[in-house]
Amino acid sequence: MRLRFTKMHGAGNDFVVIDATKQPLTLTPEQMRHLGDRRFGVGCDQILVIEPSTDAGADFRYRIFNNTGAEVEHCGNGSRCFVRYVVDAGLTDKREIHVDTLNRRLRLMLQDDGRVTVNMGAPVFEPAALPFDPAGLVPRLEHGFELWPVEGVELGVVSMGNPHAVQRVADVATAPVATLGPRIEGHARFARRVNAGFLQVLARDRIALRVYERDAGETLACGTGACAAVVVGIRAGWLDSAVEVQTRGGQLRIEWAGGDSPVLMTGPAVKVFDGEIEL
């Protein structure tokens, strides 16, 4: 099969985007892995498949697969690329788009400067939502927020639709992302594994962040990871309600008013090239 695709990135988190709005497409996990392979395939962190909506309230449905072929619930940087793609491909003339993912409906807005703002929904802090098993652990409370001792560090756990465990570090440049990241990602307390964030507070409105993503390993940016880090930082009393997040691949802006209010994420979405590959 010859497959047409578009390569895109959001702050360096890169995607193979596939338009399945006109005809259904099913790729095997092996085909996904081939697409994701940076030497033998195209190369990407995630694969995004855009489908027609199955619900009257949404404009599209989009599915997200890590480059291992595993389907996941949410991808912040990918959702911005999704909007850029459907607008540039003429699949919609709207600037405010509603899309269904595996477990959330997102509202996304294309800004005049080309950046995209995504209403990411509300964070969920209950350990069961990740799921995270805290049995036998005694958390340290920081401004009333639970930081859980796991692998010798303190983790704030939060679901943004997908699972995140965030730790504060003194310096992201020297943080043990490559060694500790996989240990947290695959820790037995996270039954569906977890994205491991390393957060450095630079000021009350500015952080630096690295994320060791579930399946994909460290990426240049993680949108849901940025949301998770900021909401953990706000709940722990380290951050104000609007924060610039410096990732290794670019800058994201995250806003959260607390409680049940949604997290807003604004950032870039860039097309790299169109291509075709034999699968």
Residue 233 CA to residue 241 CA, distance in Å, equals 9
Binding segment for ligand LBFN2T5F (CB under 6 A), chosen from 50-58, 74-82, 107-115, 126-134, is 74-82
Which residue of 36, 214, 267, 269 would you call a contact of ligand LBFN2T5F, by CB under 6 A?
214
Which residue of 6, 21, 46, 167 would you call a contact of ligand LBFN2T5F, by CB under 6 A?
46
Residue 39 CA to residue 37 CA, distance in Å, equals 6
143 close to 237: Cβ distance less than 8 angstroms: yes
| Residue 117 found at the interface with ligand LBFN2T5F (CB under 6 A) | no
Active site residue 222: yes
Closest contact distance (angstroms) between CB of 25 and ligand LBFN2T5F is 20
| Residue 244 found at the interface with ligand LBFN2T5F (CB under 6 A) | no
Q: How far is CA 57 from CA 60, 64, 75, 122, 278, in A?
A: 9, 20, 20, 19, 35
Closest contact distance (angstroms) between CB of 189 and ligand LBFN2T5F is 16
Residue 80 CA to residue 222 CA, distance in Å, equals 12
Closest contact distance (angstroms) between CB of 248 and ligand LBFN2T5F is 13
Among 199, 182, 129, which Cα is nearest to 158's? 129
Size, binding site for ligand LBFN2T5F by CB under 6 A: 20
Stated length of the chain? 279
Among positions 138-197, residues that touch ligand LBFN2T5F (CB under 6 A) are: 162, 195
Q: Is residue 224 annotated as involved in ligand binding? A: yes
| Residue 247 found at the interface with ligand LBFN2T5F (CB under 6 A) | no
Q: Is residue 76 annotated as involved in ligand binding? A: yes
Q: Is residue 77 annotated as involved in ligand binding? A: yes
Binding segment for ligand LBFN2T5F (CB under 6 A), chosen from 110-118, 144-152, 215-223, 248-256, is 215-223
Q: For Cα atoms 77, 30, 78, give the angle at the middle one, nearest 5 degrees.
A: 5
Q: How far is CA 159 from CA 95, 125, 165, 188, 278, in A?
A: 27, 6, 9, 17, 37
Active site residue 227: no
Q: Angle between the 223-235 and 76-88 helix axes, to the nearest 10 degrees?
A: 130
20's tokens: 């399945």
Q: Applying CB under 6 A, which residues contact ligand LBFN2T5F? A: 13, 45-46, 66, 72, 75-78, 162, 195, 213-216, 219, 222-225
The annotated binding site for substrate is made up of 13, 46, 66, 76-77, 162, 195, 213-214, 223-224
